[in-house]
Amino acid sequence: MSFSPLLKQLIEAFRVLPGVGPKSAQRMAFYLLERDREGGQRLAHLLTQAIKQVGQCEHCRILCEKPVCAICDNKNRDRSLLCVVQGPAHVAAIEQTGGYPGLYFVLQGHLSPIDGRGPKEIGIDAFVRRISTNTVKEVVLATNSTVEGEATAYYIADLVKSHNIKVTRIAHGVPMGGELEYIDGGTLAKALLDRTLV
């Protein structure tokens, strides 16, 4: 079927979202135009506003509308503890646990020389400036448990150690409530390797 030029552009526009293929993009466009034009207008308005007004926190680089985010501005947070994550979604995941009292530093992904993503591209220079303030006593590395995430963690750990700051890595392994026979081999091997005294 041949779509009108504007409809074709709308469908293509939805494809910029991760995981959205041609069929999903077409369904979204049709849904908004056929069933929820008001929702589409609200989405367009908020997206325009967010693109204009949302930037990065000057300290941690999380997405926010103000120069300093609510987490960094909170005087009750432990300023000696800095958790390094790969993206803003990871901050949200950790915050949902309610168990982390410190501050964050958000990288722009992970190191990937093949994709041309070196230390500069993920913000290592800003990270070094952050840990050079002498307020950080421990850096918690919370990068993904992938080859790239692990490589990024090791790279950052070396940098942190050269500043005489304690560096820790979040644990990886068997999830709470997980049954061993259903855990994949890689996760179980990591859990055995990182075992702790009881």
pLDDT tens digits, 139-172 = 999 998 888 988 999 999 999 999 999 999 988 7
Do 67 and 47 share a structural domain? no
Determine, yes or no, domain membership for 183. no
Do 75 and 162 share a structural domain? yes
Do 67 and 128 share a structural domain? yes
User: Is the CA virtual torsion 20, 27, 92, 58 positive or negative?
Assistant: positive
Q: Is the pLDDT of residue 197 over 70?
A: no
Q: What is the CATH number of the domain that holds 143?
A: 3.40.1360.10
Structure confidence by residue, pLDDT tens digits, 163-187: 999 999 988 777 777 776 777 777 7
Structure confidence by residue, pLDDT tens digits, 62-85: 999 999 999 999 999 999 999 999
- How many alpha carbons fall within 13 Å on the CB side of residue 134? 0
Number of domains, the chain? 2
Per-residue pLDDT at 176: 75
Q: Is the pLDDT of residue 13 over 90?
A: yes
The number of residues making up the chain comes to 198
Determine, yes or no, domain membership for 193. no
Domain enclosing residue 27, as ranges: 5-53
Instruction: Tokens 């930037």: give the residue.
Output: 55
For the chain, the farthest-separated pair of C-alpha atoms sits apart, in whole angstroms, at 66
Q: What is the pTM of this model?
A: 0.83
